[in-house]
Homo-oligomer: A and B are copies of this chain.
Amino acid sequence: MSHSPGCCSHATAKLTPNRQQVLQQLERSPRPLSAYELLDRLKGEGIIWQPPTAYRALDYLVTVGLVHYLQSVQKYVACPRRGCDHYAQLLICVRCSQVQELPLPVPLLTLLQSQTAEQGFALLPQMLELKGVCAQCGAADMTTAP
């Protein structure tokens, strides 16, 4: 990643055709996709890429904040808000894999920072990946369980 066009400057992002293809695929998918799932879908549209081509487009989109990389599941998801907060929460449903993005409320961030600062730890901006069960899947449980 040798981009870093300055933080949050993605308004000026250069969306080449390759990058648009990748972004569109991710936007169409209700779930995060792995790089290879992405390659498969593009192949379904007649676009044959080697892995580096996909990874380069993904790296770029992550850098400019249009896509998030979910480290905990090694998948990529389009940023629903097209924003680029320095901190946010990503709620990952372990049932359906859907991801919901939430801002990190200030009190929560403050608490996190002060907790870690007590140990001399300087928290970096990052996405908080939280696992759980989403509203739909939780509701489904109610109707199927006795």
Query: Interface residues, chain A, CB within 8 Å of chain B?
Result: 71-73, 89, 91, 93-94, 100, 102, 105, 107-108, 111-112, 115-116, 119-124, 126, 128-135, 138-139
Contacts and interface: CB of A to CB of B under 8 A. Distances in A.
Contacts of A135: 119-121
A105 B134 CA distance: 24
The 6 A-B residue pairs with the shortest CB-CB distance in the complex, in nearest-first order: A120-B135, A71-B72, A123-B132, A122-B133, A91-B121, A124-B132
B131 A116 contact: no
Contact of A111 (B72, B102, B111, B138): B111
A115 B89 contact: yes
A116 B128 contact: no
Nearest to A125: B131
Contacts of A71: 71-73, 129
Contact of A132 (B91, B107, B122): B122
